[in-house]
């Protein structure tokens, strides 16, 4: 579990960060102690923030699973490393871009970049599992 170890460690760290982000979001949700800086509950900005919170947690879990599985494949080391790093980069970029897009809407179109990175890393592990 040499290559996948960083995905596992990163995944747990990212879950912790996601929980902290969720706690901050919760301060203005459901009539919390702070007024929402981003409009009403259904505004695009608030939806992007909620989606970023989901992305933090869900992609972190996928990273942990990826870390446990990537070293079990018979892929070449270089390909395993590419898949591992693409998964981490995509996991970092997705929630960050979603948060930025809450304040600058045109950034939402850049979420295709982490989507591609994550898709490539998943394709790599699928090939390794066949």
pLDDT tens digits for 40-76? 666 777 888 888 999 999 999 999 999 999 999 999 9
Confidence of residue 1 (pLDDT cuts 50, 70, 90): low
What was the pLDDT predicted at 50? 86
The residue length of the chain stands at: 130
pLDDT score recorded for residue 76? 94
Predicted TM-score (pTM) of this structure: 0.88
């Amino acid at each position: 579990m040499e290559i996948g170890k960083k995905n596992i460690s990163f995944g747990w760290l990212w879950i912790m960060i996601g929980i902290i982000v969720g706690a901050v979001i919760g301060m203005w949700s459901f009539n919390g102690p702070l007024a929402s800086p981003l409009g009403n509950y259904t505004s695009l900005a608030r939806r992007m923030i909620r989606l970023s919170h989901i992305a933090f947690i869900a992609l972190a879990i996928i990273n942990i699973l990826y870390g446990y599985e990537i070293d079990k494949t018979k892929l070449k080391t270089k390909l395993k490393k590419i898949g591992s790093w693409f998964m981490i980069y995509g996991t970092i970029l997705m929630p960050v871009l979603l948060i930025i897009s809450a304040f600058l809407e045109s950034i939402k179109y850049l979420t295709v970049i982490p989507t591609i990175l994550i898709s490539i890393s998943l394709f790599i592990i699928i090939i390794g599992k066949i």
